[in-house]
Amino acid sequence: MSVDKDTVRRVAHLARIAVAEDELAPLGDRLNAILDFADQLAEVDVNDVEPMTSVTPMALRQRDDVVTDGGDVEKVLMNAPAARQGFFAVPKVVE
């Protein structure tokens, strides 16, 4: 399967990574090299094989649905690039 420029543009948007027009082709080559390598997997007969969903066969633990931590607005915001009045600040989202 070959990744063309349009596909790279689409994937870049899905990944929320800005890619300049002249970088699309080299990036496509890189993705193709990786995907060509992965294409070996097509040789494997995976009929009737369950996909692995858990590395060790154990059920995820659940805990009671109670607050164990919280109320730390200052700690939560201390690393934010922009914060105002106890909130994260971002460019205007709603017109």
Partner 1 sequence: MGELSRLTLAAARDGLRRGDFTAREITEDCLAEIDAADALNAVVTKTPERARAMADAADARLKAGDAPDMCGLPLGVKDLFCTEGVKSQAASNILGGFTPPYESTTTAKLWAEGAVMLGKLNMDEFAMGSSNETSCYGPVASPWRREGANAPLTPGGSSGGSAAAVAADLCLAATGTDTGGSIRQPAAFTGIVGVKPTYGRVSRWGIVAFASSLDQAGPMVKSVRDGAIMLRAMAGLDTKDSTSADIPVPDFEAALTGDIRGKTIGIPREYRIDGMPDEIEALWTKGREMLADAGAKVVDISLPHTKYALPAYYIIAPAEASSNLARYDGVRYGARAKLAADDGVTEMFEKTRAEGFGAEVRSRVMVGAYVLSAGYYDAYYLRAQKVRTLIRRDFETAFADGVDAILTPATPSAAFALGEVGGDDPVAMYLNDVFTVTVNLAGLPGVAVPAGLDGAGLPLGLQLIGRPWEEADMLNIAQALENAAGFSAKPARWW
From the CB of 70, what's the least distance to partner 1, in Å? 13
What is the Cα–Cα distance from 8 to 2, expressed in whole angstroms? 10
Select from 2, 21, 22, 58 the one that contacts partner 1 (CB under 8 A): 58
| Position 61 contacts partner 1 (CB under 8 A) | yes
Q: What is the four-CA torsion angle of 4, 10, 13, 15, rounded to 10 degrees? A: -70
Q: What single DSSP character describes residue 22?
A: G
| Position 67 contacts partner 1 (CB under 8 A) | no
What is the Cα–Cα distance from 87 to 73, expressed in whole angstroms? 8
| Position 73 contacts partner 1 (CB under 8 A) | no
User: What count of residues does the chain have?
Assistant: 95
Residue numbers of the site for partner 1 (CB under 8 A)? 1, 3, 7-8, 11-19, 27, 29-31, 33-35, 37-44, 46, 49-56, 58, 60-61, 63, 72, 75-76, 78-82, 88, 90-93
